[in-house]
A and B are shown apart, each in its own frame.
Chain A
Amino acid sequence: MYFDSVSAAIDMAGHGGYVWSAYFISLLVIVYLLLLPRLRQRSLKLQIAGELRREAHAAALHESEGPTVTSPGEN
């Protein structure tokens, strides 16, 4: 390591505030870029799974009621 101590690395001869804040913001941007699509994909999959469940439920309901259900047009 170039610096003798942790405090020297933090201070960076007076430039620490600039350097560390720039790196901190970079870290936030990197996390944002890699995490956001992952979260969006997860919520999208949940949403599609929910739709599938609802459709399956509706189909099952339709089947169980079966021939007793007649639409007004059929009478």
Chain B
Amino acid sequence: MWSFFHKLGSPPWLFGIAGSILRWLVPITLIALAVGICWGLLYTSPDFRQGNSYRIIYIHVPAAVVALAGYYVMAIAGAVSLIWRMKMADIAMKSCAPIGAALTFLALVTGSIWGKPTWGTWWVWDARVTSMLILLFLYLGVVALYEAFDNKAAASKACAVLSLVGTVNIPIIYKSVDWWYSLHQPATIKFTDESTIDPSMFYPLLLMIVAFYGLFTCAMLMNMRVEILARESRTKWVRKLVGG
């Protein structure tokens, strides 16, 4: 167990293992995305109330779910880097932020496009939309904070604190549809109760959620590899790797 943690802290080991995971994870993710997109776009029947506009769900929900989960990953990595000063945790935290921002942006934009035919407006200051917008600013805040410091250690500490403080927002997003009057519908996929979504819509949605988790993981591992290379550019193993 401890040797695993030791390996996790070793840049060349992490660089190599991330590379070998990416070799099979990227094709699987791309296939899952392609199948899920075609399934949702062309092969499911329309919603009886929303018509075809509901097909945006296959992008909107996975993007939002993974954007939230990604925040936890970033905050946990931040905590590890803050407490144990683990360099690789800092790299993981830094790698999450731009991906989370892109997915939150995607969830907001697709939600806005879906809102027009369904709610009759592009934007509404609804509790869930507003808390998602805050999530976007938190992600962008971490990205910007990294750039703002010249001192790497100080940047990493500040970003870890920001991401930890920001976790307060996550349960608010989850619970926003129950706590406030909202245009968003309450959850239709439930773990403890029977889901109120039709299986013909549920399976493609589930596939897309899994595919988006794959997308997040791939992008994060790729970002980590770049960051490791950049930070270790003066070391022997990187020079050997590049020099061949």
Chain A residues near B (Cβ < 8 Å): 1-3, 9, 12-16, 18-19, 21-23, 25-26, 29-30, 32-34, 37-38, 40-41, 44-45, 48-49, 51-52
Contacts and interface: CB of A to CB of B under 8 A. Distances in A.
A1 to B, nearest CB: 5
B59 A38 contact: no
A37 B225 contact: yes
A33 to B, nearest CB: 4
Contacts of A37: 219, 222-223, 225-226
B128 interface: no
Give chain A's interface secondary structure class: helix
Contact of B102 (A2, A3, A29, A48): A29
Interface in B36-53: 37, 41-46, 51-53
Interface residues of B, number: 42
Interface string B203-243: 00000000000010011001101100110010000110011
B34 to A, nearest CB: 10
Given A23-B37, A44-B226, A9 B26 contact: no
